[in-house]
Amino acid sequence: MNRLITKILVNAAAAIIISGSCLAQNEASIKNASGVEMGTEAYLWNAVNQDGQDVNLKSELEKGPVVLIFYRGKWCPICTKHLSNLQDNLSYIREKNAQVFAISPEKQNLASETRKNTGADFDLIFDEGYVISDAYGVTFTPTDEEREMYNTHLDADLENAHSEGRTDLPVPATYVISQDGKILWRQFDRDYKVRASVRDILEQL
């Protein structure tokens, strides 16, 4: 009996340690996402948009500066509101000869839905395998509690919405990239509620 009780206590303690370790790793994950700094060379990605068309950042920069927006997905109300606000003010950005690209790990068909829901007249880029968000230093792993909330209350369905069944997300950062491929400015905040304003973007352009 004593051996059984001891075994139960040992297993319980091990479970607590493992659980605490996983939680610590998750909590540290977003802290480790720091974003690439201003003045550095931007990663020149090649990816597909919501219509499955190839988009090459190097080619797009030949036309003018680029504004990169990282967003979490169509399930995120703050993201869709931010994209809608950008669309409402898109003419001012284009007057600066600049283009907007919004990047997310959500698959192409979901990005197409996001475009319809927000009215976005700019490309939504599918970041397959998190290649772009990794290169810009914005990828993080949400906690188990956050994933549960996103999936249950916001119908995110992260495992099916993203490539490779991964549930990582990008910090919703904004980068302004000059024609020579340098990062002129960034807005980076681990608080997902804080987003770049159109005024800030226009000032940098």
pLDDT digits (tens, 9 = 90+) for 74-129: 999 999 999 999 999 999 999 999 999 999 999 999 999 999 999 999 999 999 99
Residues 6+ apart with CB under 8 A from 98: 64, 65, 66, 67, 176, 205
Tokens standing for residue 53? 């068309």
Give the separation between CA 71 and CA 83, rounded to whole angstroms.
Answer: 9
Architecture of domain 33-204: 3-Layer(aba) Sandwich (3.40)
Quote the DSSP letter at residue 163: G
Quote the DSSP letter at residue 43: P
How do the domains of the chain map onto residue ranges?
A: 33-204
Classify residue 39 as left (phi > 0), alpha (psi -120 to 50) or beta: left
Beta strands in the chain (DSSP E): 46-48, 54-56, 66-70, 99-104, 123-126, 139-140, 169-170, 174-177, 183-187
Query: What is the amino acid identity at position 126?
Result: F
Q: pTM of the entire structure?
A: 0.83
**Cβ–Cβ under 8 Å, residues 146 and 66:** no
The closest of 132, 26, 115 to 79, measured between CA atoms, is 115
Output b/e per residue, 130-145; b: 16+ Cβ within 10 A. bbbbeebbbbbbbeee
The three-state secondary structure class of 184 is strand
Query: What is the amino acid identity at position 13?
Result: A
Give the separation between CA 14 and CA 134, rounded to whole angstroms.
Answer: 33
CA distances from 197 to 59, 66, 97 (A): 26, 15, 18
Report CA torsion sign: 87, 91, 96, 101: positive
**Cβ–Cβ under 8 Å, residues 61 and 181:** yes
Spell out the per-residue pLDDT of the chain, length 205, in tens: 545 444 443 344 433 333 343 333 444 487 788 899 999 999 999 999 999 999 999 999 999 999 999 999 999 999 999 999 999 999 999 999 999 999 999 999 999 999 999 999 999 999 999 999 999 999 999 999 999 999 999 999 999 999 888 999 999 999 999 999 999 999 999 999 999 999 999 999 9
The three-state secondary structure class of 143 is coil
